[in-house]
A and B are shown apart, each in its own frame.
Chain A
Amino acid sequence: MSDTSDNLRGTIAGSLASQSAKTVTVLSSLLAIEDEFGYIPPEAIEEVASFTKATINDVWGVASFYTNFRFTPPGDHVLEVCWGPTCHLLGARNIMKSILDSLGLAEEGDTDDKTMSLKYSTCLGACSQGPVIHVDGKVIGARAIGNTKGEDLVNKITEFVTNIRKGNS
């Protein structure tokens, strides 16, 4: 983001004022910020506090509680991999390991070159299509990537993720 702090605050204020929630709360405001920026800038904490007449402490309390919020800008692409029981039974563990290796990560986080951010997800809601991943806002099941399983599926999914990271989706 190359916005100056004032520009940033302006964008933040705009997001807060135009949020879709009918009842405005600290949580709804934080979700609006996350939707706009993909993360919660520190300035947003102050703006949400004054917008909702809450304390900065309260806002931090809410932001740090829900695991969908992050506090640094995400990579160019955001990938979530499900580790729930169903996807686990359908081979998620090997897929997760393969993806972690290909991204050079030991656990969830951002790649060094910031092209991709990986997050563990407890359930993406598409269990019948497992194992499931979520890439840049889209839920993708195993069948859509390659109607196969086992080692072959692991390779196909890893390849899919690598392509996204390179920018050839």
Chain B
Amino acid sequence: MSKFDDILEEANQHYLTLSEGDKPWIRVGSAVCGEAAGAKEVIDSLNTELSNNSLAANVSHVGCNGLCYAEPIVDITKPGKPRVFFKNVHPGQISELIQSYLINDTIPEDMVLAQSGGSPIDGVPLLDDLPMWRNQVRVAMRNCGDIDPTDIYQYIARGGYSGLNKALFSMEPEEVIKEVQDSKLRGRGGAAFSTATKWGFLVSSPGPVKYILCNSEEGDPGAYNDKGILESDPHTLIEGTILAGYATSASNGVVFIRHGHEGPIERTRIAIEQAYQLGLLGDNILGSSFSFHMEISLTGESYVSGEETALMESVEGKRAMPRFRPPFPAQSGVWGLPTNINNIKTLSYVPEIIAKGGEWFSSIGTERSKGTAILCLSGNITRPGLVEVPMGITLEDVISEMGGGVPEGRQLKYLQTGGPLGGILHGDQVGISLDFDEMSRAGAILGSGGIIVADDTSCAVDMTRLLVAFCQYESCGKCFPCRLGMTNLVEILERICTFQSNPEDMDIMRTIGQNMAAGSLCGHGQLGWNPVQSALKSFPEEFSAHMDDKYCPTGQCYGPIITPQRTRSRWGSAQPVELQISK
């Protein structure tokens, strides 16, 4: 029996006591969406109720299954019965829920969401039939919402680390790369570059110290899938990173995440610790000759620190400003050492790709965009949340069928995809498929997967102002075309929104946009014109209403206009104070 077989047996036994034991298994969604909806209070209420009634149950704080619109979600699996999900559970409803279902076997109809597994109960919809769940193919999110992310045995019992075990003992590093190549996996951070090719760059760099950086900075407003995976199933990321390390002969992995996101940080920290305890990280993993170490690196609040080279600067503890390339990260990265940077989602696919084979992965999706996409729906949509869908599905299906469309009888006006630099996509373009190249031709970016839905009460000009204000706020300041150009654009857009624009403003904006694209070192400045350009293309009449006719068709611009800007001095005392240098 190998080391892994021992661990697997332990894990299976542990998992069986939860899933098929004689006590009910109660799971509560406790990711940031759950917490923001009040999950902590629900858990307190649950614990109190169980103890008051002297009821024994296994309670797990699980991650996010993606049905964020239904948070706080509590699901109960009684011995021998299906798993029943309850939605929007208020702490005050816990007593009723426990009395009604746990003690008396009656399902409270107004609270029930769905069921899965076991012999179906009449009158409760199947999870697999829910419109938001039906079309999903859950690869990276296969465990999200099902397991407690702080319990490594739950991950292992459901197939976790079997891919790593297979790779270490029956595959050469080149074969691991070959599987990823066969899968045709493209990066999910926004650039959609071939992952196998990127890993290939690192393979030939000399060791012994080489780094794999896992980018979870996720500064895009509207994107929460990286943090979602780390909060719900950090081990899929850890296993994927170790596999990447094995494939490229790297020695160290770093999970890069913004300080302040307590949930993902803490769960990743615990997961890394547990992996070390079981010998899945560290020297001689599972008794093999491969050693790999992982740690967490926190960054301050800076959107640009999500850019590859700025990320490396931040890992080194410096200002997150991009570097010139060449040298490329694979030749000279953090501290001058060979480095590879991948997005969390990209690495989270790898364990399944190794376990099931690259060909399996490439059977999902379209010709040039294989596998699945993990999308974050938010904004004016009935069912905000996370979904993992095969590439090739249309945006229409995602938004209308899965997301439930725009609520309150309003019309879809535009989508904001791929982060603020992705710009605005007119609502009538919603028939395009989720495919890197098709979206690019339509002038949209899939980016990190965020899709913000706007209805017809939203002013496109006002949104453009907001997006550019975000970009200005987050400009690192290194390149003046970006730093000054963004500030200039914000000033002009603010005047447009307050009906004080001048006739030459449009031409000035275009010139600024061209200069930014030509003179900026990184994508932030290079794409900074995109929000304005895409909005002009989709809603030219709205711009001319504001600029020529001096009115706002939706009326939004008559409300308060708040434009946070970076160049204002923050906190009043950002100037250095008089220091008594004592040394």
Q: Do A and B come from one complex?
A: yes
User: Which residue numbers of A lie inside 8 Å of B, CB to CB?
Assistant: 20-23, 25-31, 34, 42, 45-46, 50, 52, 56, 58, 60-62, 64-72, 82-90, 93-94, 96-97, 100, 107-110, 120, 122-123, 125-130, 132, 137-141, 143-144
B-side contacts of A62, CB under 8 Å: 300, 317-319
- Contact in complex: A85, B452 (CB < 8 Å): yes
B570 close to chain A: CB less than 8 A: yes
CB distance from A45 to the nearest CB of B (A): 7
Interface contact A144-B37, CB-CB below 8 Å:
yes
**A87 CB → nearest B CB, Å:** 8
Contact A89 B317 (CB under 8 A): no
Residues of the A chain whose Cβ atoms lie less than 8 Å from the Cβ of B159: none
Question: CB < 8 Å: which of B259, B379, B571 contacts A86?
Answer: B379
A144 to B32 Cα, complex, angstroms: 12
CA distance in complex: A26, B313 (Å)? 11
The closest CB in chain A to the CB of B231 belongs to A125
Contact between chains at B378 and A72 (CB < 8 Å): no
In B245-303, which residues have CB < 8 Å from any A CB?
Answer: 259-262, 269, 295-303
**Are B36 and A93 closer than 8 Å at their CB atoms?**
no
Complex partner residue of A85 from B319, B466, B561, CB under 8 angstroms: B466
Whether the pair A89, B380 counts as a contact (CB closer than 8 A) is yes
> Contacts A46-B582, A67-B570, A70-B571 hold; do A122 and B33 have CB atoms under 8 A apart?
no
- Which chain B positions have C-beta within 8 A of A141? 33, 36-37
Ordered by A's residue number, 21 sampled pairs between the chains whose C-beta atoms are within 8 Å are A20-B269, A21-B295, A27-B314, A42-B576, A46-B583, A56-B581, A66-B320, A69-B300, A71-B573, A85-B222, A86-B222, A89-B458, A109-B571, A109-B572, A122-B473, A125-B261, A127-B222, A127-B450, A128-B69, A137-B262, A143-B71
Considering the complex, which residues of chain B in the window 525-568 have a beta carbon less than 8 Å from any beta carbon of chain A? 559-562, 564, 566, 568
B contact residues around A129 at 8 Å (CB): 33, 36-37, 68, 71, 384
Q: How far is the CB of A74 from chain B (nearest CB, A)?
A: 9
How many angstroms between the C-alpha atoms of A107 and B562 in the bound complex?
Answer: 9
Contacts A42-B579, A65-B320 given; does A127 touch B384 at CB 8 Å: yes
A123 touches B222 (CB 8 A): yes
Q: Would A139 and B570 be within 8 Å (CB), given that A21-B297, A84-B222 are in contact? A: no
Q: How far is the CB of B131 from chain A (nearest CB, A)?
A: 16
How many angstroms from the CA of A66 to the CA of B453 in the assembled complex? Answer: 30
In the complex the two chains form, what is the Cα distance from A141 to B570 in whole Å? 26
Q: Is B316 an interface position by the 8 A CB rule?
A: yes
From B260, B378, B560, B574, A127 is in contact (CB under 8 Å) with B378
B219 within 8 A of A: yes
State the CA gap A138–B263 with chains docked (Å): 11
B220 proximal to A (CB < 8 A): yes
B426 to chain A: closest CB distance in Å?
16
Q: How far is the CB of A36 from chain B (nearest CB, A)?
A: 13
Task: Say whether A93 contacts B224, CB under 8 Å.
Answer: no
B contacts with A, residue count (CB < 8 A): 80
Give min CB distance, B334 to chain A, whole Å.
10
Indicate if B416 sits at the interface (CB-CB under 8 A). Answer: yes
Chain B's nearest CB lies how many Å from the CB of A77?
16
Cβ-based interface call for B148 (8 A): no
Chain A nearest CB from B550 CB (Å) reads 21
B505 at the interface (CB under 8 A from A): no
- Cβ of B446 < 8 Å from any Cβ of A? no
Docked pose: A60 CA to B319 CA in angstroms: 10
Quick check: B420 and A143 within 8 Å, CB to CB? Answer: no
> Among the listed A22, A89, A97, A137, which residue makes an inter-chain contact with B560, where contact means beta carbons less than 8 Å apart?
A97
Q: Smallest CB-CB separation from A22: which chain B residue?
A: B295
Which chain B residue shows the least CB distance to A58?
B318
Across the interface, A139 reaches (CB within 8 A) one of B36, B68, B316, B380, namely B36
Question: What's the Cα separation between A108 and B68 when bound, in Å?
Answer: 30
Taking a contact as CB atoms under 8 Å apart, the answer to whether B68 and A128 are in contact is yes
- Mark each residue of chain B from 217 to 232: 1 if its CB lies under 8 Å from any CB of chain A, else 0: 0111111100100000
CB-defined contacts of B454 to chain A, threshold 8 Å: 89
Which residue of A has the minimal Cβ distance to B458?
A89
Residues of chain B from 400 to 441 with CB closer than 8 A to chain A in the complex: 416, 420
The listed residue (A26, A31, A109, A122) touching B221 by CB distance below 8 A is A122
Q: Given A129-B68, A139-B32, A144-B37 in contact, is the A67-B300 Cβ separation under 8 Å?
A: yes
Q: CA A58 – CA B318 in complex, angstroms?
A: 8
**A residues less than 8 Å from B295 (CB atoms):** 21-23
> Which A residues are in CB contact (< 8 Å) with B396?
none
A126 touches B33 (CB 8 A): yes
User: What are the 4 tightest A-B residue pairs by CB atom distance, in nearest-first order?
Assistant: A25-B317, A66-B300, A84-B221, A128-B68
Complex CA distance for A86 and B260, rounded to whole angstroms: 20
**Chain B: which residue is nearest A27 at the CB level?**
B317
State the CA gap A20–B576 with chains docked (Å).
27
Q: Residue on B with the closest CB to A138?
A: B35
Question: Which residue of the partner chain A has the closest CB to B377?
Answer: A128
> Among the listed B35, B259, B470, B583, which residue makes an inter-chain contact with A68, where contact means beta carbons less than 8 Å apart?
B259
> Which one of A45, A65, A88, A100 lies within 8 Å of B300 (CB-CB)?
A65
Does chain A have a CB within 8 A of B371? Answer: no
Closest chain-B Cβ to A14's Cβ sits at a distance in Å of 18
Q: A67-B570, A130-B378 are in contact. Are A27 and B299 (CB under 8 A)?
A: yes
Say which residue of A29, A46, A85 sits within 8 Å of B420 (CB atoms): A85
Contact residue among A52, A96, A110 (Cβ-Cβ distance under 8 Å from B562): A96
Cβ B474 vs Cβ A70 within 8 A: no
Complex contacts, B579 vs chain A, CB 8 Å: 42, 45-46, 56
Indicate if B517 sits at the interface (CB-CB under 8 A). no
The CA of A126 and the CA of B227, in the complex, are separated in Å by 10
Q: When the two chains form their complex, are residues A94 and B36 in contact, meaning their CB atoms are under 8 A apart?
A: no
Shortest CB–CB separation between residue B377 and chain A, in angstroms? 8
Alpha-carbon distance A20/B582, docked complex (angstroms) = 28
| Shortest Cβ distance from residue A97 to the other chain B in the assembled complex, whole angstroms | 4
Determine if B574 and A64 form an interchain contact, defined as CB atoms under 8 angstroms apart: yes
Residues of A contacting B395 in the complex (Cβ-Cβ under 8 angstroms): none
Chain A residues with CB below 8 A from B463, complex form: 85, 88-89
15 additional A-B residue pairs with CB within 8 Å, beyond A23-B315, A129-B36, A132-B36: A21-B295, A25-B316, A50-B583, A62-B317, A65-B476, A83-B466, A87-B221, A93-B559, A96-B560, A122-B474, A126-B224, A128-B33, A128-B69, A139-B36, A143-B71
B212 to chain A, nearest CB (A): 15
Residues in chain B near residue A108, CB distance under 8 A: 564, 570
Cα distance, A123 to B306, chains bound together (Å) = 14
